[in-house]
Amino acid sequence: MRFMRLTRVRLSAGFLMLLLCLGSAMPLGATTKELYMHCGAGLRQPVEELLRTYREKGGVNVAVEYAGSGQSLVRFKATKEGDLFLSGSAFFVEQLAKDGFVTHSFSIVLHPPVLAVHPSKTGEITTVDDLAKPGVRVGLGDPKAMALGRTAEEILSHSDKKDAILANTVVRAATVKQLSLYVTKGDVDAAILARSDAVQAKDALVFFDIDPAWYTPEIVTIAALNTSRHPEEALELAEFLRSPEAVAVFLSHGFSPLP
């Protein structure tokens, strides 16, 4: 019996040594660091492509929460958690900066709007003023929830048919992706949509340019936050997202270059 107890002790000690050896076999460069980024929903496709490239280059993992920029702003202020804030509009980053949450911010590309139309209404709707025609179902972004909603408000302020267009508005979307789906599925006849989303859905809708004098284009902006647990890595990712390589990816998805 005494021999058996000693044997059990030796086996347990050997098992512990095995665990220690396995632990020491982990790569010396292995890291558990992960960044958390709030990101505008309309930026999802280029961002996911860029983050894959970033990881392949040896960058840290990044967890991303996609939502309308206004929604992301509210969520961040409620939780005070996050390393970066990437928005389709500089406006929301400026709000964070006013409250002292931003350590660095960079402009990346322009986020211009277009008039997106369901194919069944192509001959009927070609300009913003056409949205005032009787029976036209219009979709707009919620200005409190998303950057494009603010842009749409500015565009309508230049039209003498604003009231009629608002009367025809049947939905206010919280994200640009929702708004794009409303057009492609025919739930609305037309919407003021981001050019990047219109390009991505070009097989299911048609789109027309809007007079540049009617709006100030939104600027896609990245901010490194002072709530970051890994500020050096956060700044490194922010720098990558505004690099020429990253800008080229944004342009390929329908965004426009900075002046």
Helix (H, G, I), strand (E, B) or coil at 87: strand
Give the model's pLDDT for residue 8.
Answer: 41
pLDDT at 7 over 80: no
Q: Look at 3-17, 137-151, 156-170, 228-242 and tell me which has the smallest mean pLDDT.
A: 3-17
pLDDT at 196 over 70: yes
pLDDT at 28 over 80: no
State the average pLDDT over residues 72-99.
Answer: 95
pLDDT at 157 over 70: yes
Mean pLDDT, the chain, rounded, equals: 88
Q: What percent of the chain clears pLDDT 70, i.e. is strictly above it?
A: 88
Give the model's pLDDT for residue 33.
Answer: 85
Q: Write the DSSP symbol of residue 242.
A: T
Q: Largest alpha-carbon pair distance within the chain?
A: 98
Give the model's pLDDT for residue 176.
Answer: 85
CA distances from 141 to 52, 150, 158, 179, 208 (A): 29, 8, 17, 7, 17
Query: Is there a contact between 214 and 220 (Cβ–Cβ < 8 Å)?
Result: no
pLDDT at 22 over 70: no
* C-alpha 253 chain-centroid distance: 13
Q: Look at strands 61-67 and 102-111 and give their pairing.
A: unpaired
State the average pLDDT over residues 101-118.
Answer: 96
β strands within the chain, DSSP E: 34-40, 61-67, 84-87, 102-111, 113-117, 138-141, 169-173, 190-194, 206-209, 218-225
pLDDT at 129 over 90: yes
The two tokens of residue 229 are: 């647990």
- Tell me how far apart the alpha carbons of residues 72 and 97 are, in angstroms, rounded to a whole number: 15
- Tell me how far apart the alpha carbons of residues 91 and 88 are, in angstroms, rounded to a whole number: 9
- Tell me how far apart the alpha carbons of residues 159 and 115 are, in angstroms, rounded to a whole number: 14
β strands within 34-160, DSSP E: 34-40, 61-67, 84-87, 102-111, 113-117, 138-141
Q: How confident is the model at residue 147 (pLDDT cuts 50, 70, 90)?
A: confident
**Dihedral of the CA atoms 176, 174, 179, 88 (nearest 10)?**
-10
